[in-house]
Structure formats: structure tokens, C-alpha cells
Copies of this chain bind each other. A is one copy, B any other.
Amino acid sequence: MSVTAAKGFTAAGIAAGIKENGTPDLALVVNTGPRRAAAGVFTSNRVKAAPVLWSEQVLRTGELTAVVLNSGGANACTGPQGFQDTHATAEKAAEVLGIGAGEVAVASTGLIGVLLPMDRLLPGIDKAAADLSEHGGEKAAIAIKTTDTVHKTAVVSRDGWTVGGMAKGAGMLAPGLATMLVVLTTDADVAAPDLDKALREATRTTFDRVDSDGCMSTNDTVLLLASGATGLTPAHDDFAEAVREVCDDLGRQLIGDAEGASKEIRVEVVNAATEADAVEVGRSIARNNLLKCAIHGEDPNWGRVLSAIGTTAAAFEPDRLNVAINGVWVCRNGSVGEDRDLVDMRYREVTITADLSAGTESAVIWTNDLTADYVHENSAYSS
């Protein structure tokens, strides 16, 4: 499963001692070929971690052979030394694997503003390389966890080829991605420009529409590596759809494991004038702290939904807005609708439908509730 579900990949996950508690913290993913095509999508935060700057650079060739990922430190806001450390990480992996440093992407996650313990990280790469296996995908997925309570993997197989992947992320999920590290692999034979196209199409409607707490990370990285090991080249749409399905699956797992969450909230905006309007309204609803608290309290407080819609620039008339919570239209024409006591909010998944009555476009944003556990998890220690 995970990154080794597709043929032509090996992976490992080990404890290098970057995390003080001794749990796994270093993952290595290697494309054994015959192809090395790759694509990546990175955070849109203008403050980018050293590994993001490095990986964006090496991906310009459209090829990657290996990815080193570490938890236990983001290597963000660490200045020139931080960039040198990322470079040294790639050099070390290249040396061990007998390839060039320009074929190695690096991804890091953890606390911002702290240098990585290179005296432990570099020997860890030797250890990981020695442990590389065609069955190492799960171990790799485990090694990239931070506050994640479970590791996340997904696989879609079609007509002889496979797309699989792993993800980590639980806190900073937001548009423009999140402290989300994702590595996807495929054994289809797809050229780099087509990988890039499929990946951008997929992230635009999946990871980019997952918004846990409105906070955007410095480290978001989503990589897609193709080994071509099956020799099969699927039609673009089939391939893109498989990538989208894996991203969607992983994105849902991220929201399902969001810090302190007790509810997963599907915000669907319908009858918008444009898709951009639908996304803007969906994000505004998904980021409204008062609403997220109300959902936590199982309170179908539609007034907070309208209040959030009202802050956007989307096309709508206030007296034509309709809102349903779990299918009950509690707000009709901008005013009181069906009895809010009819709304059943006992279950973990909650659906908020906002009907803008302004067109035919729609979008879905996934978020979660705001809980005292979230506050505790993000105030009790640095992360």
C-alpha cells in the first residue's frame, strides 16, 4: 500500500532520533524506474521552508529519483544554515543511493524556527537506505506523522496501473495546502508535463478545498513520482481521475484526523454565479470560528452561516439566500425557514448547504469544528 503500492518504488521509515521521544521520524521513498518523471505542488505561503525552496528547484528538471522526508522539525525560518542543511540532506541521500543531489526532493514538518539535528538526521539516511523495501510504504507513512493520530495512505488501481500515496497533516490545513506532506507514486508511464497537469487539477479541488483552521503552512509539499514500471500510459482523463481520487481520499483522512476535531463538516455551496464565488463563500463559512464552535455544540446556528456569507464579495442577494444543515432548510430567503429542532446533529459528519440563488456553479469545502481540545493541543506545547 501507500507509496509502494505502485510497482517500481521502494520505501523505508525509521527512527533517526530527530524526535526526542524516539518514534519514527525519517522516511525515504525511491523510484527504481525505469522512468523518473515527477511533478510537485507547494505551499503558496510566501514564507517558504528551506526544503520547499530546494524541492521546487530540483523539480524544474521534471525528474526525481528519491524523496527524503522528516518529521520532528520543519526547517522553516532557519536562514542560510537551514538551506545548507536541506542541501546536505539531499547530498547524503544522493551519495548513499549513487545518484545526483538534483534528483532528491526533501520535505520536512514540525516546529518552525529550529535547526534540524543534522548529526542524527544524516546517519538516519544510511539507516533508512539499508531498510528500503517494496513493502516499506506503511513504515514511511508512519515516519512522517507529527500530531497525526493515525498514518494516512490511499491506493487506486485501474487496468493494470496504480496510483498510491501517503499523507501527513492535522493542524495547519488550509487553502494553498497545509502542513501537509504528501507523496504519490504511480507505475504508469506518464511524462512530467502530464503528471504536473494531473496533479494540479487534483489538488485544486481536493487539498486546496480542505480548510481545518484557516492557517497556511510554510512547508506544504505534494509530490507525484512516476516509475513507468508497468509500461502502460493511460488516457490523461483516466489518470487524472485516479490521482484526484487518491488526493480526495487522503484529504478526507486529513480532515478526519484534524487536531481536536469532533465533527467533520462538509460545506457545499450551490447555485453560485461562478466556481470562484462558491469557493470563496465555502471558505468563509469554513473559517468562521463562531460557527465552528456552534457545530461543536450541535447547534444548527444558521445565522452564523449567513453572517459568514455576508463578508464575501460573491454575487448574491441577502433575501434570496437559503441554508440547510443536514438537509433541513433552516433558512429560506434570508430568513427563518424550517424548524431548527428538526436538525439531527448527533453524528460526526455535518453537511452545511448554502444556496446562493445566483447561478449554477458549486463547490465543496471540507472543514472541522473548533473545540477545546484544539485549543489545548495548540497551546500546551510548541508545534
Instruction: Note all chain B residues with C-beta closer than 8 A to A309.
Output: 46-47
Q: Identify which of A81, A115, A301 gathers the most chain B CB atoms within 10 Å of its CB.
A: A301
Instruction: Note all chain B residues with C-beta closer than 8 A to A371.
Output: 375, 379
Q: A306-B47, A307-B112 are in contact. Are A293 and B78 (CB under 8 A)?
A: no
Q: Would you list which residues of chain A between 21 and 47 have a CB under 8 Å from chain B?
A: 45-47
**A62 proximal to B (CB < 8 A):** no
Q: Would you list which residues of chain A between 281 and 303 have a CB under 8 Å from chain B?
A: 287-290, 293-294, 296-297, 299, 301-303
- Cβ–Cβ contact A331 & B218, under 8 A: no
In the bound complex, what is the Cα–Cα distance between A310 and B2 (angstroms)? 32
In the bound complex, what is the Cα–Cα distance between A293 and B171 (angstroms)? 12
- What residue in chain B is nearest A45 (Cβ atoms)? B310
**A94 proximal to B (CB < 8 A):** no
In the bound complex, what is the Cα–Cα distance between A81 and B336 (angstroms)? 11
Q: List 23 A-B contacts (CB under 8 A).
A: A45-B307, A45-B311, A47-B321, A76-B303, A76-B307, A79-B333, A79-B336, A112-B306, A113-B306, A113-B335, A114-B336, A115-B336, A213-B289, A213-B290, A214-B287, A216-B310, A289-B374, A293-B377, A296-B375, A297-B379, A297-B380, A370-B379, A371-B379
Contact residue among B79, B297, B312, B319 (Cβ-Cβ distance under 8 Å from A79):
B319
Q: Would you list which residues of chain A between 179 and 219 have a CB under 8 Å from chain B?
A: 213-218
Instruction: Note all chain B residues with C-beta closer than 8 A to A377.
Output: 293
In the bound complex, what is the Cα–Cα distance between A155 and B186 (angstroms)? 69
- Cβ–Cβ contact B382 & A299, under 8 A: yes
In the bound complex, what is the Cα–Cα distance between A307 and B45 (angstroms)? 7
- Cβ–Cβ contact B215 & A290, under 8 A: yes
**A123 proximal to B (CB < 8 A):** no
Contact residue among B77, B217, B318 (Cβ-Cβ distance under 8 Å from A334):
B77
Instruction: Note all chain B residues with C-beta closer than 8 A to A288.
Output: 214-215
Instruction: Note all chain B residues with C-beta closer than 8 A to A46.
Output: 309-312, 316, 318
- Cβ–Cβ contact B306 & A77, under 8 A: yes
- Cβ–Cβ contact B79 & A381, under 8 A: no
Interface size (A, Cβ < 8 Å)? 66
Q: Would you list which residues of chain A between 308 and 352 have a CB under 8 Å from chain B?
A: 308-312, 316, 318-319, 321, 331, 333-336
Q: A289-B289, A303-B77, A307-B215 are in contact. Are A294 and B45 (CB under 8 A)?
A: no
Kindly provide the distance from the CB of A109 to the nearest chain B CB, expressed in whole angstroms.
Answer: 12
Instruction: Note all chain B residues with C-beta closer than 8 A to A127.
Output: none
In the bound complex, what is the Cα–Cα distance between A215 and B214 (angstroms)? 13
**A97 proximal to B (CB < 8 A):** no
**A252 proximal to B (CB < 8 A):** no
Kindly provide the distance from the CB of A296 to the nearest chain B CB, expressed in whole angstroms.
Answer: 4
In the bound complex, what is the Cα–Cα distance between A29 and B376 (angstroms)? 44
Kindly provide the distance from the CB of A267 to the nearest chain B CB, expressed in whole angstroms.
Answer: 16
Contact residue among B289, B372, B378 (Cβ-Cβ distance under 8 Å from A214):
B289
**A250 proximal to B (CB < 8 A):** no
**A111 proximal to B (CB < 8 A):** yes
